[in-house]
């Protein structure tokens, strides 16, 4: 009974915190519209976080501030941004307000997304400054480990190979490799172009169907994660050898270390005698000698270290977020990819679920996901669709350039039609979320983790 109560409390707490964090994102967006509208003398009728009937409401200076029962969004009611006659077309009483220049309309529309971008920048800096971990330099799509019993090994993929293209499309990172493989698969197969020993080779491989569980886009293949030491167990072989937290192991037993997984394999194959190790520490290469030990309890060779985490520069965090979102948008309008992307989109329920998962993982993962959601909200709202901020910008630009307003009836029809289509799409995505029962498909389940990952607390000791 106590376990049931605890589980119910945990879920309730996670839902509340997730809604609160999403509400902050909505508030930042709507506050951007609100503050610029007020500064430019526009009439504001309502500032609402959420839709529907008000849970809480307060009125001051003829402005209604409220929180609605439906938490997935918000709005600032600005009648001067509505097309002239819209109220009459929609059945309401026409109300006349002073005209607003198109440039002020653009400023109001733009500052909602700008608010989200500024908030995302602040979050990126908080994540960056919240840790003293080493900075992760820009990496490429280098293979760190290949299971010798896998089809990938039989196809010719080896540790140290660099993936430079998937189905002919260039990739610059492991994330790009994951995206292009998931979107470009044909009957679960993709063609990889690899760079090995200054020569290229092309192989056909099968895309894994359980990426969200294994983290492997191709079965038996893992990326080259820099071999950074997180924790050194006191009294362990690593401790006696002089290894320290934040050392990066670059050589082991005379061979270059390609990545963490490659290093773990090398330790297992190492002789149980003193072997030379080279670590990078404070920009210097330091030679050490390490004697691995076999542990009978765990039945494996151990040295007593865990994998450490890296910090990502704020601009690299934001570039990664923007790259992910724009690639998904591109996939939606690409005939061969649109079905796969649409099938894996996350609606409000899915976003709530991801936030709940992030909250359980830790602070930095949660902040990273909120950062990503803010960049996503900013970019989506700038799309030139009539019901979105981008649509208002297009209408205002037309008015500013031609000195003529878009026909009010045409504008009203476009806005209402796009609103209906958008609501319909949101309902379909939400039904898809519910159907998945929060089991996120391979596209976003793995990619979101890749984009928001940050060490929240020391990792458990790795038993090599």
- Tell me if 67 is assigned to some domain: no
> Tens of pLDDT along 261-308?
889 888 988 878 899 999 999 889 999 999 999 888 888 888 999 988
290 and 377 assigned to the same domain: no
In the predicted model, is pLDDT for residue 36 greater than 90? yes
Last residue of a domain, one of 274, 307, 340: 307
- Domain carrying residue 113: 2-43+78-132+360-452
> Tens of pLDDT along 430-455?
887 777 654 544 444 554 454 444 44
Query: How open is the CA angle 227-232-237, to the nearest 5 degrees?
Result: 95
Please give the mean pLDDT across all residues of the chain.
84
Tell the residue number behind the tokens 């508030």, with chain if given: 27
10 and 97 assigned to the same domain: yes
29 and 126 assigned to the same domain: yes
In the predicted model, is pLDDT for residue 123 greater than 60? yes
In the predicted model, is pLDDT for residue 44 greater than 70? yes
By the 8 A CB rule, do 391 and 384 touch? yes
Q: Among 397, 377, 383, which residue's Cα sits nearest to residue 115?
A: 377
Average pLDDT over residues 354-371: 90
Q: How many domains are there within the chain?
A: 2
In the predicted model, is pLDDT for residue 460 greater than 80? no
Strand 169-170 and strand 248-252: the pairing is unpaired
pLDDT at 145: 84
In the predicted model, is pLDDT for residue 105 greater than 90? yes
Question: DSSP code of 80?
Answer: G
- Tell me if 238 is assigned to some domain: yes
- Tell me if 213 is assigned to some domain: no
In the predicted model, is pLDDT for residue 456 greater than 70? no
Last residue of a domain, one of 269, 288, 307: 307
Last residue of a domain, one of 307, 323, 339: 307
In the predicted model, is pLDDT for residue 147 greater than 90? no
In the predicted model, is pLDDT for residue 457 greater than 50? no
**φ, ψ for residue 209, nearest 5 deg:** -100, 10
9 and 125 assigned to the same domain: yes
403 and 299 assigned to the same domain: no
**DSSP labels, 341-359:** HHHT---HHHHHHHHHHHH
20 and 88 assigned to the same domain: yes
pTM, two decimals, is 0.80
Of 32-46, 61-75, 93-107, 246-260, where does mean pLDDT reach its minimum?
A: 93-107
Higher pLDDT, 398 or 5: 398
In the predicted model, is pLDDT for residue 89 greater than 50? no
Average pLDDT over residues 23-31: 96
Of 51-55, 60-64, 459-463, where does mean pLDDT reach its minimum?
A: 459-463
- Tell me if 409 is assigned to some domain: yes
302 and 370 assigned to the same domain: no
pLDDT at 188: 75
Of 369-383, 401-415, 426-440, where does mean pLDDT reach its minimum?
A: 426-440
Residue 396: pLDDT band (50, 70, 90) is very high
Of 12-16, 80-84, 242-246, where does mean pLDDT reach its minimum?
A: 80-84
Neighbouring residues of 365: CB distance < 8 A, sequence distance ≥ 6: 358, 452, 453, 454, 456
12 and 118 assigned to the same domain: yes
In the predicted model, is pLDDT for residue 244 greater than 80? yes
Structure tokens at 94: 């026409």
Residue 102: pLDDT band (50, 70, 90) is very high
- Tell me if 422 is assigned to some domain: yes
């Amino acid at each position: 009974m106590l376990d049931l109560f605890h589980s119910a409390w945990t879920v309730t707490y996670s839902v509340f915190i997730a809604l609160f964090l999403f509400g902050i994102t909505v508030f930042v967006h709507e506050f951007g519209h609100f503050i610029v509208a007020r500064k430019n003398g526009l009439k504001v009728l309502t500032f609402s976080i959420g839709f529907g009937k008000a849970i809480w409401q307060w009125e001051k200076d003829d402005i209604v501030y409220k929180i609605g029962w439906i938490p997935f969004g918000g709005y600032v009611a600005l009648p001067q941004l509505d097309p002239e006659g819209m109220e009459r077309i929609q059945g309401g009483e026409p109300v006349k307000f002073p005209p607003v220049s198109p440039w002020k309309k653009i400023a109001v529309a733009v500052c909602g997304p700008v608010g989200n971008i500024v908030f995302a920048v602040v979050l990126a800096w908080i994540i960056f400054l919240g840790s003293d971990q080493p900075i992760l330099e820009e990496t490429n799509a280098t293979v760190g480990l290949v299971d010798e019993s896998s089809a990938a090994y039989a196809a010719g993929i080896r540790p140290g190979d660099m993936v430079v293209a998937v189905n002919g499309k260039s990739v610059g990172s492991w994330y790009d490799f994951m995206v292009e493989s998931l979107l470009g698969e044909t009957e679960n197969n993709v063609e990889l172009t690899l760079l090995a020993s200054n020569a290229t080779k092309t192989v056909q491989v099968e895309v894994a169907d359980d990426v969200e569980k294994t983290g492997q886009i191709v079965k038996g293949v893992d990326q080259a994660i820099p071999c950074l030491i997180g924790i050194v167990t006191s009294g362990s072989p690593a401790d006696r050898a002089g290894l320290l937290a934040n050392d990066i192991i670059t050589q082991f037993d005379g061979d270059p270390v390609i990545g963490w997984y490659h290093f773990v394999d090398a330790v297992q194959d190492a002789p149980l005698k003193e072997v030379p190790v080279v670590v990078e520490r404070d920009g210097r290469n330091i030679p050490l000698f390490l004697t691995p030990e076999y542990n009978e309890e765990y039945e494996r060779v151990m040295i007593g270290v865990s994998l450490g985490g890296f910090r990502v520069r704020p601009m690299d965090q934001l570039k990664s977020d923007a790259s992910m979102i724009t690639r998904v948008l591109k996939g939606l309008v690409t005939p061969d990819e649109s079905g796969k992307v649409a099938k894996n989109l996350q609606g409000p329920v899915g976003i709530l679920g991801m936030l709940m998962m992030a909250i359980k993982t830790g602070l930095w993962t949660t902040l990273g996901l909120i950062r990503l959601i803010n960049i996503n909200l900013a970019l989506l709202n700038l799309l030139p669709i009539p019901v979105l901020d981008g649509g208002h910008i297009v209408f205002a630009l037309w008015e500013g350039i031609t000195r003529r307003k878009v026909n009010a009836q045409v504008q009203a029809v476009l806005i209402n039609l796009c609103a209906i289509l958008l609501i319909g799409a949101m309902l379909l995505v939400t039904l898809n979320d519910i159907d998945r029962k929060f089991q996120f498909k391979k596209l976003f389940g793995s990619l979101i983790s890749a984009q928001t990952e940050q060490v929240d607390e020391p990792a458990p000791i790795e038993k090599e």
